[in-house]
Structure 1
Amino acid sequence: MKVACFSTKSYDQKSFDLRLTKHGHHFTYFEAKLDKHTVNLAKGYDAVCAFVNDHLDAPVLKILHEFGIQAVVLRCAGYNQVDLKTAKELNLKICRVPAYSPEAVAEHAFAMILTLSRKTHKAYNRIRENNYSLEGLVGFNLNGKVVSVIGTGAIGTAFCKIALGFGCEVLAYDLIENKELKAIGVKYLNLDELLSQSQIISLHCPLTPGTKHLINKKTIDQMPNGVMIINTSRGALIETKSVIRALKSKKIGYLGIDVYEQEEDLFFRNLSEEILMDEQIARLMTFPNVLITGHQAFLTQEALSQIAKTTLLNLDELEQGSELSNEVTYSE
């Protein structure tokens, strides 16, 4: 199949090129993200390969359909950027990579916890300035802390196992309880109970209408003072304005985010020579207890390899007319 690959970075191209020789597909890589302004680049192709910030809304999908595009293969697990209802109406197949390396994201989430709890980012900067003072670097032990996980799919499960290894008491909330996790000591609670007992909360759930702004003024008020919140899932799980207010009042003691509600025009780009126009992320950067990374939790060699492998297998199944292992469909 001829595939137009959007939002491509050098590491994407490298991981796909290493595997393309074993498959009969031809990739053309575009740095531009897919939206109404760039969709014409897909003309003449059989399929589109897209990422998290590409626009796959109804207008774009309709144009892709007019071009004869048969499918969209997502090289990510999330699919909230896709209008699945329109895709179904147009008979456009949508496939994703449901699990590339759960450990990659889980480990990054825990790295953020360790960085915030022991202030290693501050220590690094001090040492580079020849400042060896320990004043203001007092941290806290993770052993014995109550760490809560919202969403215990593959990534949440990997995170729970890491937290247990650090000697944490691990609480969890999910619509479907994981029997394996319960057997090794994870305790499931309803959301209200979990929020009220959590010292550290890590988000590992998908973005849906029901989870959008899951962290808001009401839910933050239920948390203990000084709580740490970590988000490596989807930016819109957090209502940014409420979190900023809670940081100012010290209700939230630490915040680590690898995703951001308005990240589309920021992340995956070098804006070092430009003025930062997003006032909310600018405000977040002023807090000494906030750690921000640019949607890199997935970015390991192992994860990139698995993403390429699964995406190419999805294309193989599409071309062969086989049953699709990783299809995403609209449901009422």
Structure 2
Amino acid sequence: MKIAFFSAQKYEQSFFIAHNSAEHQLLFFSERLTELSAKLAQGCDAVCAFVNDDLSESVLQSLLKLNIKLVTLRCAGFNNVDLIAAKNLGINITRVPAYSPEAVAEHCIALMLTLSRKTHKAYNRVKEGNFDLNGLLGFNLHKKTVGVIGTGKIGLALCNILTGFGCRILAHDPKPSSDRLNYVSLEALLAESDIISLHCPLLPATHHMINDDAYQQMKPGVMLINTSRGALVDTKATIKALKNKTLGYLGLDVYEQESELFFKDMSNEIIQDDEFQRLLSFSNVLITGHQGFFTQEALDEIATVTFFNIKQFAEQRVLTNTVV
């Protein structure tokens, strides 16, 4: 098959080439998939898309005109896909449901520890020959109450790690997945947690679930970690919570408007997103550019499962990892 990869980065191409045992023809495009760029898939049999590619109805219609019947996502989330349109158009959508839960869970811990112990600030001080400890006072994770919202594979992996730190864990999920966790209402979790970590998909019900009302229920000085989807968190409400010190620490690996920023080198440009720039101005905010998944093990699994999805489609078998 001839497969068009959109939003393709150099770091991932070698993994897909190495796992291409069926010798498909792979076309890598750095361009994000949009209605305008869809024409690059002319002559292809399938499209491989990533988290910030546009798979709205108009883009899917453009792909259908090119006779493309498979869009295989090399990610777990599918909030960027118009599922109703895909179904009506007869376009199959597959994904990689779980590439490395531990990779994202460990990145959560990295954000928590960096914020709690201020290691990012200490690193910069020592580089400048400043060994003063004033302003670097941290806190233990041990015995802290951590609220985990969403206990799928990543949420469970995080809970396992936090158990080793000696944390008290509160969990919230509409569909509890473990009888070893203490599941509580969302209201109780928000009120009791010292640290809150988000691990749920972006759905209409979860859009801006962390908003003004949620912040009003939290402890003063709470830490919030989001490695799931940016729009789970209301940015305007978050800036307000940082200013009034309800939110004491914020760790983000995702952002509401990240499609205009992440996975690009913007170092020589003026970032036009004022809310993002405001977030960066807070000393208690740590942002990484959607790298929670970014480990060798995860990229190996993404490539393996993506080609498995393509193989099933080519052989007209039931699609194990289908979204539509």
1:219 aligns with 2:214: yes
Compute the displacement of 1:11 (Å): 1.4
Compute the displacement of 1:216 (Å): 0.1
Q: How many residues align?
A: 324
How does 1:182-331 map onto structure 2 within 5 Å?
182-183=179-180, 186-329=181-324
Q: Distance in 1 between matches of 2:187 and 2:25?
A: 50
Letter of the 1:136 counterpart: G
Q: Distance in 2 between matches of 1:178 and 1:94?
A: 26
Q: Distance in 2 between matches of 1:131 and 1:276?
A: 31
1:49 aligns with 2:45: no
Letter of the 1:4 counterpart: A
SS state of the match for residue 231, structure 2? helix
Q: Distance in 2 between matches of 1:23 and 1:114?
A: 43
1:64 aligns with 2:73: no
Q: Distance in 2 between matches of 1:29 and 1:286?
A: 36
1:31 aligns with 2:26: no
Q: Which residue of 2 aligns with 1:3?
A: 3
Q: Distance in 1 between matches of 2:74 and 2:267?
A: 27
Q: Which residue of 1 aligns with 2:13?
A: 13
Q: Distance in 2 between matches of 1:65 and 1:37?
A: 14
Compute the displacement of 1:80 (Å): 0.5
Q: Distance in 1 between matches of 2:4 and 2:212?
A: 42
SS state of the match for residue 14, structure 2? helix
SS state of the match for residue 205, structure 1? coil
Per the normalisation by structure 2, the TM-score is 0.99
Q: Distance in 2 between matches of 1:198 and 1:108?
A: 20
SS state of the match for residue 137, structure 1? coil
Q: Distance in 2 between matches of 1:14 and 1:236?
A: 31
Compute the displacement of 1:294 (Å): 0.3
Q: Distance in 1 between matches of 2:214 and 2:22?
A: 48
Q: Deviations over 1:8-56 (max 9, x none)?
A: 0011101101111x12421100000100120110111010000000000
Q: Distance in 1 between matches of 2:241 and 2:301?
A: 38
Q: Which residue of 2 aligns with 1:73?
A: 72
Q: Which residue of 1 aligns with 2:173?
A: 174
- Structure 2: gaps of 5 or more residues: none
Q: Which residue of 1 aligns with 2:82?
A: 83
Q: Deviations over 1:55-114 (max 9, x none)?
A: 000001001001100100000000000011011011100000000000000000110000
Q: Which consecutive aligned stretches of 4+ in structure 1 deviate over 6 angstroms post-superposition?
A: none
Letter of the 1:310 counterpart: V
SS state of the match for residue 188, structure 1? coil
Compute the displacement of 1:126 (Å): 0.3
Q: Distance in 1 between matches of 2:157 and 2:289?
A: 21
Compute the displacement of 1:178 (Å): 1.8
Q: Which residue of 2 aligns with 1:133?
A: 132
Q: Distance in 2 between matches of 1:117 and 1:322?
A: 49
